[in-house]
Amino acid sequence: MSDLASLFSLFTSSFLSATLLPGSSEAVLVALLVAEKSQPWLLVLVATIGNSLGGLTNVILGRFFPLRETSRWLATAQHWLGRYGSVALLLSWMPVIGDLLCLLAGWLRLSWGPVIFFLCLGKALRYVVVAAATLQGMAWWH
């Protein structure tokens, strides 16, 4: 697979993983890091951009489609956003809860600036940790 195709597949996987669709962008990132398909910083950047745009898609959906049913996950996400505001979006990378946090941020009409900042920061930190752990593991095996 070419570098461009690898980056596109990582972007697509990262975007879809941040929406309500299932996916595992971390696995794609690790595979590309191990295969040395591109510079690690570029892979982390592409994954972060794709995942952040997917999360922002959920925020936009939350503004258009208010949530009506309650669940344990929804109650937990509402509690975090009510208590911490946009800072709770640092956890937007978490499975299930992260999607709900993004939807609720839109539903609650939280300010765009802090939403974008904390959502992107949380997603970037996750990919940095995954990449660092992968690269550290690769160095250990060499």
Kindly indicate the confidence band of residue 123, based on its pLDDT and cuts at 50, 70 and 90.
very high
Please report the DSSP string for 97-113 in residue order: HHHHHHHHHHHTT--HH
Q: How far is CA 22 from the centre of its chain?
A: 12
Give 88's contacts (C-beta < 8 A, 6+ positions apart): 77, 80, 81, 101, 118
Q: How does pLDDT run across 31-90, given as a tens digit for each residue?
A: 999 999 899 999 999 999 999 999 999 999 999 986 666 677 777 777 878 889 999 999
What does the pLDDT read at residue 74? 75
Q: What is the pTM of this model?
A: 0.88
Higher pLDDT, 140 or 123: 123
Average pLDDT of the chain, as a whole number = 90
Residue 37 contacts residue 6 (beta carbons within 8 Å): yes
16: left (phi over 0), alpha (psi -120 to 50) or beta: alpha
The Cα–Cα gap between 105 and 73 comes to 14
